[in-house]
Amino acid sequence: MSRAMFEYTKAVLSKVSFDVRLFSKELKKAITRLLPHEIDELAIWVDSLIKQQPQLIPCLKLLNK
């Protein structure tokens, strides 16, 4: 079940990546719902997404808490 939540989270974040505010909101939700090792994996995924969409750079601070 947890893996499905991780994949769902990535799908949602991909869809809202056009808006930094929405992306931040969904990323905060994901951090509260995912397991610690999944958050680490998500951080790697977000980092690769930011390389394609640099406007999301401010969202990195959410993952560094």
pLDDT tens digit at each of 65 positions of the chain: 578 999 999 999 999 999 999 999 999 999 999 999 999 999 999 999 999 999 999 998 988 86
Residue range of the domain that includes 17: 2-63
Closest CA to 13 of 1, 35, 34, 65: 34
The count of domains in the chain is: 1
pTM of the entire structure?
A: 0.88
Quick one: pLDDT at residue 64? 80
**CA nearest to 63, candidates 31, 33, 34, 38:** 31
